[in-house]
Amino acid sequence: AQTVTQSQPEMSVQEAETVTLSCTYDTSENNYYLFWYKQPPSRQMILVIRQEAYKQQNATENRFSVNFQKAAKSFSLKISDSQLGDTAMYFCAFTWFAGSRLTFGEGTQLTVNP
Amino acid sequence: GAGVSQSPSNKVTEKGKDVELRCDPISGHTALYWYRQSLGQGLEFLIYFQGNSAPDKSGLPSDRFSAERTGGSVSTLTIQRTQQEDSAVYLCASSPTFSSYEQYFGPGTRLTVT
């Protein structure tokens, strides 16, 4: 069974600074997909960034980037120039093929302070 | 276009009562997922519908839980004889096809069993 672990229940960062959220996972699959989702207080889960395991290049989306280390089964999220609107719960998620269920980590509550 | 919608937004029910939760996926999306988000269990997969195929019910926690999807669109999650441990946020997500790995989430229904 696949598992996803986020070891940081809470983190905080000052506005405009950079923060990194950690995620590790366990799988015997070679091809899979990894995601970071953001859940603000509105409860709406929003996809932040995705990474295909077969791609060596780390994904980036504006201020968000990942550090994907396949051998180490690590998938961290870096948020640059943090904004107050980034305050949310962040979930790391895994799926091993398109159309399959997502397996989520426990989540990291990020607070951006003014 | 419109996103995934769920109703009701919040539901309070007495222990032992039955409840129905509704999900309207994005128009044209053939895949539909239900997840449960609770304090003790995190985010768990419940059930997956894909087109006219038999649903994947492997995540349903007990036979008190059931779901249907009518006409390949709207889905209803039914919980019979609710228990306090059923209190959670129930999230619905849809995906364009079975070959798409991106899931679009609704705002969820917060269920409180008293």
The 10s digit of each residue's pLDDT in A19-36 is 999 999 999 888 899 999
Answer whether A45 sits within 8 Å of B31, measured CB to CB: no
What pLDDT, on the 0 to 100 scale, is given for residue A98? 72
Interface of B with A (CB under 8 A): 31, 33, 35, 42-43, 45, 48, 50, 56, 59, 89, 91, 93, 95, 97-108, 110
What pLDDT, on the 0 to 100 scale, is given for residue A59? 94
What whole-number distance in Å separates Cα of residue B96 and Cα of residue B26? 8
Positions of chain A with pLDDT under 50: none
In tens digits, what is the pLDDT along chain B, a chain of 114 residues?
589 999 999 999 999 999 999 999 999 898 999 999 998 778 999 999 988 888 999 999 999 999 999 887 999 999 999 999 999 999 999 998 767 788 999 999 999 999
What pLDDT, on the 0 to 100 scale, is given for residue A62? 96
What pLDDT, on the 0 to 100 scale, is given for residue B1? 58
What whole-number distance in Å separates Cα of residue A12 and Cα of residue B90? 27
Distances (CA, A) of B33 to A17, A27, B47, B53: 36, 22, 6, 13
Task: Kindly report the number of other CB atoms within 10 A of residue A113's CB atom.
Answer: 11
